[in-house]
Amino acid sequence: MKIHNYLLDKITKQGQAYLLLIDPDKMASDRIAGFVSHCQKSGVDGFLFGGSLLMNGDMEDQIKIVKQNTTLPVILFPGSETQVTPHADAVLFLSLLSGRNAEHLIGKHVIAAPLIRKMQLEPISTGYVLIESGKRTTAEYMSGSAPIPRHKPEIAVATALAGEYLGMKYIYLEAGSGAELPVPVEMIKMVSSACSIPIIVGGGIRDAETAAAAVRAGAKIIVTGNFFEDESSWGKIAEFADAIHSAKNQSIL
Ligand code: 1GP
């Protein structure tokens, strides 16, 4: 419960948390130390590690470098059961609630659960909900599942509530890494007002205002990945963190 409590504490004290996703394939190991210490100085609250498909990146080595260079938590964001490693602090135990592919709803979890116990990783039960975001995303393709249509927020609400009633700790509204369009604000608003568990929002967020708008709509954790893979944008990490931490949820004002 250590990392779950850390996130809840951030949400309670700051109103929301900002997690940065590192895709090991896209991050060169010699850049990672500088990148993660810059992230910590800029106000990032933690790191997610993983991807729908890992080709070459050495995730274990990269996580070790993160642990040596920051005090921030590393949470696995696994595309499959092969992406669990004891070097992380926790794992988002994701069930793909928007899909009807049994492997991603429960099958892979059965394989991963004993490994997670053996590694003494903290599992954080999360309902993962893919939202249509323009072009087809890697997450959609790799999971063999259709996303929820972006103009059908009521389906997202029903799906998120089902996750909450199944006992999940978070709902992750995911447009997909590098998505053309982020999760619609109206959908975030409806899901966060219906649910009493924190809503994570990510995918296709490329500017601080879009991140702040998701917070104002009720998101409690914002995830960005792609945008900061290009070193020329690192100077904007603090701008994103400030926008996320200073935005207020307008649905409770
Ligand atoms: C993807 O939500 C995350 O799983 C982050 O998406 O890479 O588009 O920021 P981006």
Q: Tokens at residue 239, please?
A: 């701008």
Query: Is there an atom of ligand 1 within 6 Å of 202 CB?
Result: yes
Q: What pLDDT does 134 receive? A: 96
- How far lies 26's CA from each of 31, 81, 105, 168, 183, in Å? 11, 20, 27, 30, 23
What's the CA gap between 71 and 79, in Å, rounded? 25
Ligand 1 atom closest to 227 (CA): 9
Nearest Cα to Cα of residue 35 among 239, 235, 240, 226: 235
Q: Tokens at residue 137, please?
A: 């995303």
Q: What is the pLDDT of residues 145-197, one digit of tens each?
A: 999 999 999 999 999 999 999 999 999 999 999 999 999 999 999 999 999 99
Q: pLDDT band at residue 206, thresholds of 50, 70 and 90?
A: very high
Domains of the chain by start residue, with CATH: 2-249 (3.20.20.390)
Q: Please give the single-letter amino acid code of residue 6.
A: Y
Q: Tokens at residue 33, please?
A: 């130390």
Q: What pLDDT does 251 receive? A: 63
Evaluate whether 150 touches 181 at the Cβ level (below 8 Å).
Answer: yes
Task: Count CA atoms closer than 13 A to 189's CA, side-chain side.
Answer: 11
- How far lies 124's CA from each of 52, 210, 224, in Å? 18, 26, 19
Mean per-residue pLDDT for 46-57? 86
Q: At what angle do helices 29-42 and 59-69 cross, to 10 degrees?
A: 40
Distance, CA 222 to ligand 1 centroid (Å)? 9
Q: Tokens at residue 165, please?
A: 């009633």
- Work out the burial of residue 114: count CB atoms within 10 Å of its CB; fewer than 13 is exposed, 13-18 middle, 19 or more buried: exposed
**Residue predicted with more confidence, 54 or 164:** 164
Residues listed for the chain: 253
Rounded to the nearest 5°, which phi and psi values hold at 126?
A: -135, 130
Ligand 1 atom closest to 201 (CA): 2
Contacts of 103 (CB under 8 A, 6+ apart): none
Q: For a pLDDT cut of 70, what percent of the chain falls above it?
A: 99
Q: What is the pLDDT of residues 73-117, one digit of tens each?
A: 999 999 888 889 999 999 999 999 999 999 999 999 999 999 999
Q: Of the ranges 42-51, 52-61, 105-114, 208-217, which one carries the lowest mean pLDDT score? A: 52-61
* Cα torsion 87, 92, 96, 101: sign: positive
Query: Is there an atom of ligand 1 within 6 Å of 225 CB?
Result: yes
> Of the residues 188, 224, 229, which should be mutated to test ligand 1's pocket, given the most ligand atoms within 8 Å of the CB?
224
> Of the residues 177, 183, 207, 236, which should be mutated to test ligand 1's pocket, given the most ligand atoms within 8 Å of the CB?
177
Evaluate whether 180 touches 149 at the Cβ level (below 8 Å).
Answer: no
Q: pLDDT band at residue 1, thresholds of 50, 70 and 90?
A: confident
